[in-house]
Amino acid sequence: MKRVFFLLFITAQILVVSCTTESDNSSSSTTGNNNTEDPTSHLQATGASSNDLLSSTTFNSMVVELVYVDGFEPSQSSVDNFVSFLESRTFKPNGISVEKRAITSPGNAPYTNAEIRSIEDINRTKFNTENEIAVWAFFADGSSASNSGNAVVLGTAYRNTSFVIYQETIQDLSNSTFEPNRTVLETTVITHEFGHILGLTNLGAALQSAHEDAEHEKHCNVDSCLMYWASETGSGLDNLVGQSQAPQLDAQCIADLQANGGK
């Protein structure tokens, strides 16, 4: 078995190995004032739209613009699992929809975080309206430029409603002997990254108990939780081998979301 340390990064405008976040002070509010789209609503720090995503106070529906490079589409089961995750944690009485489409390869792999942002800026078509919040999800045909040796990045939450999944890397590390099931690995990475966008851990959804990992900021210290940081030991990948489903949020992370308007 390939011994791989996998990293799940959260960033705002700059990808940092220490997994910290920075605010983009030039961005505007996520709240639209009418039925026209707000094309700047997504230019905020990761976690900044926690309450808007979790509650129905401002937005009563959500659309996920899921864009993938030809040949790197996530499984429908993973997409269904993602939607189920959203439905279980957010209040969107008018529903959650996913609009998928393929694009040709940008041809820049391995991708820097700046290149990922540029791909979104060129290709994103869904933005917040008065009643609907929009999410961007990109499935890349290459690896992250931040990979180093056996340490690989599987996904990055880098803006308030934006994340990337390095689908080529996920395909390389799944569905073979002694490797995780691909749908399980995809679901784990997608929901982990979106957990950060929802404000976990201590990233927009305030802590209701002391469960942030002191050594790995913005991650839960419960090793069985979806939001646990496991890159230093590689146990995150190992623990998925033979599993039929992705890890779930622990009670403390759920309490944080509930306190900020979620389920």
In this prediction, residue 28 has a pLDDT band, given cuts at 50, 70 and 90, of very low
CATH superfamily of 5-259: Collagenase (Catalytic Domain) (3.40.390.10)
Q: What is the pLDDT of residues 206-248, one digit of tens each?
A: 999 999 999 999 999 999 999 998 743 444 677 889 999 999 9
Please give the Cα distance from 234 to 200 (Å, whole number). Answer: 21
The pLDDT value given to residue 18: 26
Q: What is the pLDDT of residues 171-199, one digit of tens each?
A: 999 999 889 999 999 999 999 999 999 99
Of residues 139 and 17, more confidently modeled: 139
The pLDDT value given to residue 236: 63
Please give the Cα distance from 89 to 211 (Å, whole number). Answer: 19
| Distances from the Cα of 133 to the Cα of 17, 90, 198, 262, angstroms | 29, 12, 13, 15
In this prediction, residue 5 has a pLDDT band, given cuts at 50, 70 and 90, of low
Contacting residues for 164 by C-beta, under 8 A, at least 6 apart? 111, 116, 137, 138, 139, 140, 155, 156, 158
**For residue 95, is it left (φ>0), alpha (ψ between -120 and 50) or beta?**
left
Tell me the domain boundaries of the chain.
Answer: 5-259
Q: What is the pLDDT of residues 119-174, one digit of tens each?
A: 999 999 999 999 999 999 999 999 999 998 878 889 999 999 999 999 999 999 99
The pLDDT value given to residue 148: 86
Query: What contacts 24+ positions apart, CB below 8 Å, involve 15-18?
Result: 15/112, 15/113, 15/146, 15/156, 15/158, 17/146, 18/217
Q: What is the pLDDT of residues 72-112, one digit of tens each?
A: 999 999 999 999 999 999 999 999 999 999 999 999 999 99
- SS3 call for 157: strand
As given in the structure block, the two tokens for residue 263 are 């389920």
As given in the structure block, the two tokens for residue 170 are 């996920």
Output the pTM of the full model: 0.88
- ∠ CA 229-231-237, rounded to 5°: 95
pLDDT exceeds 50 at position 258: yes
